[in-house]
Amino acid sequence: MNKRSGEESKKNILAAARTVFAEHGYAQASMRIIARAAGMSVGGLYLYFRNKEELYLTFTQEWMKNLNDRTREALREIDNPVEAIGAFISLTILFSRSHKEMIILQGRELGFSFGLDLKRAFFRERREQIADIVRSGIESGDFRTCDADEVAKVIFNILRGFIVSMVIDEDALFAPEESVNLVLNGLLRRNSG
């Protein structure tokens, strides 16, 4: 098997796994069902993943990488920190909504501790992205002087609350625009005149 077809097979497996986990939940999903959905033998599936947990963690890691890649790409095009913080918040909320079934699965069925080290690294990277935007806004004079790392934690946890709400209380979900307005009202430097 060449490298290209191996990568395509792995992508196909991960896409099939997303569908199977969303339809059946983690507990009811099996390697046999995932292999069938991917159009391959169970033995072929085991060439790529040792077990369901490894497959799920790989899928989760791919999801996190996808969000971080999209965020970096969007921010690369934006020089204005006000626009950047808005893009970060909006992109996170919209991405989470479009992957709602996996977030619900993660929260309801697996608990938030499944893949904890992976999540901690992901969360740290997300907070660092926010802190970098805030520092840029302070340097440009757009944002008031504040502790960028602490502000990053606040913004991150607002977003995390949105994500947890998808699992627990969908009525608590809010619009990206209102979240951006709230955050910017706290960050923007006010003219003293």
User: According to the model, what pLDDT value does residue 45 have?
Assistant: 95
- Note down the domain range covering 5: 1-49
Within-domain flag for 25: yes
Side-chain-facing half-sphere of 64: CA atoms under 13 Å:
19
Same structural domain, 42 and 59 = no
CATH number of the domain that residue 26 is part of: 1.10.10.60
> Tell me, what's the pLDDT at 27?
86
Q: Same domain, yes or no, for 44 and 56?
A: no
Residue 41, phi-psi category: left (phi > 0), alpha (psi -120 to 50), beta (remainder): beta
Q: What is the 3-state secondary structure (H, E, C) of 102-161?
A: HHHHHHHHHCCCCCHHHHHHHHHHHHHHHHHHHHHHHHHCCECCCCHHHHHHHHHHHHHH
Residue 119: inside a domain? yes
Q: For residue 116, give the CATH number of its domain.
A: 1.10.357.10
Helix residue ranges, H only, 29-79 = 31-38, 42-48, 52-76
Domain assignment present for 193: no
Q: pLDDT tens digits for the chain (193 residues)?
A: 556 688 899 999 999 998 898 888 888 999 999 999 999 999 999 999 999 999 988 988 988 899 999 999 999 999 999 999 999 999 998 898 888 877 777 766 656 566 788 888 999 999 999 999 999 999 999 999 999 999 999 999 988 888 877 777 777 677 778 888 888 888 888 765 4
- Residue 86 backbone phi and psi in degrees, to 5: -65, -45
Instruction: Choose the final residue of a domain: 32, 49, 66.
Output: 49
Predicted model pTM = 0.83
